[in-house]
Chains A and B, each alone.
Chain A
Amino acid sequence: MTAEFVQPDLIPALPEMVMLAMTCLVLLVDLFLPQEKRGFTLLLSVATLALVIAAVIAVAPVDAVSSFGGTFVLDQLAVVLKIATCAVTILVFVYSRDYLVDNDIYKGEYYVLGLFATLGMMVMISAHSFLLVYLGLELLSLSLYAMIAFKRNSLSASESAMKYFVLGAMASGLLLYGISIFYGITGSLDLNQVAATISSEFAQHPVALGFALTFIVVGLSFKLGAVPFHMWLPDIYQGSPTSVTLFIGTAPKIAGFAMAIRLLVDGLGDLQVDWSQMLLALAIASMAIGNVIAIAQTNFKRMLAYSTISHVGFILLGILSATANGYASAMFYTITYAITASVAFGVLLVLNRKGFEAENISDLSGLNDSNPWYAALLAIAMFSMAGVPPTVGFYAKLSVLQAVVQIDMIWLAVVAVLFSVIGLFYYLRVIKVMYFDQPLPEQTTTIKEALDVKLLLSANSLSLILLGMFPSTLMAYCILSFS
Chain B
Amino acid sequence: MYADWPLLSLAIWTPILGGILVLFAGDREPSGARKIALVVSIVTFLLTLPLYTQFNTETHLMQFVERQPWIAAFNIEYYLGIDGISMPLILLTSFTTVIVIISAWEVIQYRASQYMAAFLIMEGFMIGTFAALDAVLFYIFFEAMLIPMFLVIGVWGGANRIYATLKFFLYTFIGSVLMLVALIYMYTLSGSFAIFDFHHLRLSLTEQVLIFLAFLVAFAVKVPMWPVHTWLPDAHVEAPTGGSVILAAIMLKIGGYGFLRFSLPITPDASAELDWLIITMSLTAVVYIGFVALVQRDMKKLIAYSSIAHMGFVTLGFFIVFRIVNSGYGEQGAALALEGGMVQMVSHGFISGALFLCVGVMYDRMHSRQIADYGGVANTMPVFAAFMVFFAMSNAGLPGTSGFVGEFMVILASFKASFWIAFLAALTLILGAAYTLWMVKRVIYGEVANDNVAALTDINKREFLFLAILALAVLALGLWPDPLVEVMHPTIDNLLNHIANPKI
Interface residues of A in 159-218 (CB under 8 A from B): none
Q: Is the CB of A417 within 8 A of B140?
A: no
Given A472-B72, A476-B72, 8 more pairs with CB closer than 8 A: A388-B144, A388-B146, A405-B181, A421-B170, A429-B166, A432-B165, A436-B161, A476-B73
B493 at the A interface (CB under 8 A) = no
Give the interface of A toward B (CB within 8 A): 328, 368, 372, 383, 388-390, 394-395, 398-399, 401-402, 405-406, 410, 413-414, 417-418, 420-421, 424-425, 428-429, 431-432, 435-436, 471-472, 475-476, 479
Q: Is the CB of A421 within 8 A of B184?
A: no
Query: Which of A424, A436, A479 makes the CB contact (< 8 A) with B162?
Result: A436
Encode contact with A along B179-221: 1 for CB under 8 Å, 0 otherwise. 0110011011000000000000000000000000000000000
Query: Which of B147, B161, B174 makes the CB contact (< 8 A) with A388?
Result: B147
B178 at the A interface (CB under 8 A) = yes
Closest to B171 in A: A421
Give the interface segment out of B50-58, B148-156, B340-348, B439-447. B148-156
Q: Is the CB of A402 within 8 A of B154?
A: no
A-B contact list, 25 entries, CB within 8 Å:
A388-B144, A388-B146, A389-B140, A390-B140, A395-B71, A398-B180, A398-B184, A399-B73, A402-B74, A402-B188, A405-B184, A405-B185, A417-B180, A421-B173, A428-B166, A428-B169, A431-B150, A432-B162, A432-B165, A432-B166, A435-B155, A436-B162, A472-B72, A475-B73, A476-B73
Task: Classify chain B's interface size.
Answer: 20 to 34
Closest to B139 in A: A389
Q: Is the CB of A424 within 8 A of B173?
A: yes
Q: In the complex, what residues of A have CB within 8 A of residue B174's CB? A: 418, 421
Q: Is the CB of B188 within 8 A of A405?
A: yes
Q: Is the CB of B177 within 8 A of A421?
A: yes
Name the distance in Å between B140's Cβ and chain A's nearest Cβ: 4
Name the distance in Å between A364's Cβ and chain B's nearest Cβ: 14
Q: In the complex, what residues of B have CB within 8 A of residue A399's CB? A: 73-74
Q: Given the complex of chains A and B, what is the CA–CA distance between A402 and B73 in angstroms? A: 11
Name the distance in Å between A407's Cβ and chain B's nearest Cβ: 10
Q: Is the CB of A432 within 8 A of B154?
A: yes
Q: Is the CB of B71 within 8 A of A472?
A: yes
Name the distance in Å between A282's Cβ and chain B's nearest Cβ: 21
B143 at the A interface (CB under 8 A) = yes
Q: Given the complex of chains A and B, what is the CA–CA distance between A398 and B136 in angstroms? A: 9
Q: Given the complex of chains A and B, what is the CA–CA distance between A475 and B71 in angstroms? A: 9
Q: In the complex, what residues of A have CB within 8 A of residue B146's CB? A: 388
Give the interface of B toward A (CB within 8 A): 70-74, 114, 136, 139-141, 143-144, 146-147, 150-151, 154-155, 161-162, 165-166, 169-170, 173-174, 177-178, 180-181, 184-185, 187-188
Q: How many A-B residue pairs have CB under 8 A?
A: 89
Q: Given the complex of chains A and B, what is the CA–CA distance between A471 and B76 in angstroms? A: 11
Q: Given the complex of chains A and B, what is the CA–CA distance between A413 and B180 in angstroms? A: 10
Q: Given the complex of chains A and B, what is the CA–CA distance between A413 and B181 in angstroms? A: 7
Q: Given the complex of chains A and B, what is the CA–CA distance between A398 and B74 in angstroms? A: 10
Closest to B74 in A: A402
Name the distance in Å between A448's Cβ and chain B's nearest Cβ: 20
Q: Given the complex of chains A and B, what is the CA–CA distance between A472 and B73 in angstroms? A: 7
Q: In the complex, what residues of B have CB within 8 A of residue A389's CB? A: 139-141, 143-144
Closest to B26 in A: A372
Query: Which of B70, B114, B188 makes the CB contact (< 8 A) with A472?
Result: B70
Q: In the complex, what residues of A have CB within 8 A of residue B188's CB? A: 402, 405-406
Q: Is the CB of A424 within 8 A of B170?
A: yes
Q: Is the CB of B181 within 8 A of A471?
A: no
Query: Which of A410, A421, A429 makes the CB contact (< 8 A) with B181?
Result: A410
Closest to B154 in A: A436
Q: Given the complex of chains A and B, what is the CA–CA distance between A368 and B23 in angstroms? A: 13
8 cross-chain pairs, A with B, having the tightest CB-CB distances, nearest first: A417-B177, A389-B140, A436-B154, A421-B174, A475-B73, A405-B184, A389-B143, A413-B181
Name the distance in Å between A414's Cβ and chain B's nearest Cβ: 6
Q: Is the CB of B187 within 8 A of A402?
A: yes
Q: In the complex, what residues of A have CB within 8 A of residue B136's CB? A: 398
Query: Which of A398, A421, A425, A435 makes the CB contact (< 8 A) with B166?
Result: A425
Q: Knowing A413-B184, A472-B72 are in contact, say whether A435-B139 is a contact too (CB < 8 A).
A: no
Q: Given the complex of chains A and B, what is the CA–CA distance between A424 and B150 in angstroms? A: 13
Q: Given the complex of chains A and B, what is the CA–CA distance between A428 and B184 in angstroms? A: 25
Q: In the complex, what residues of A have CB within 8 A of residue B181's CB? A: 401, 405, 410, 413-414, 417
Q: In the complex, what residues of A have CB within 8 A of residue B71's CB? A: 395, 471-472, 475
Q: Given the complex of chains A and B, what is the CA–CA distance between A103 and B114 in angstroms? A: 36
Q: Given the complex of chains A and B, what is the CA–CA distance between A27 and B2 in angstroms? A: 65
Closest to B177 in A: A417
Q: Is the CB of B169 within 8 A of A401?
A: no
Q: Is the CB of A435 within 8 A of B74?
A: no
Q: Given the complex of chains A and B, what is the CA–CA distance between A383 and B147 in angstroms? A: 9
Name the distance in Å between A5's Cβ and chain B's nearest Cβ: 45
Q: In the complex, what residues of B have CB within 8 A of residue A436's CB? A: 154-155, 161-162, 165
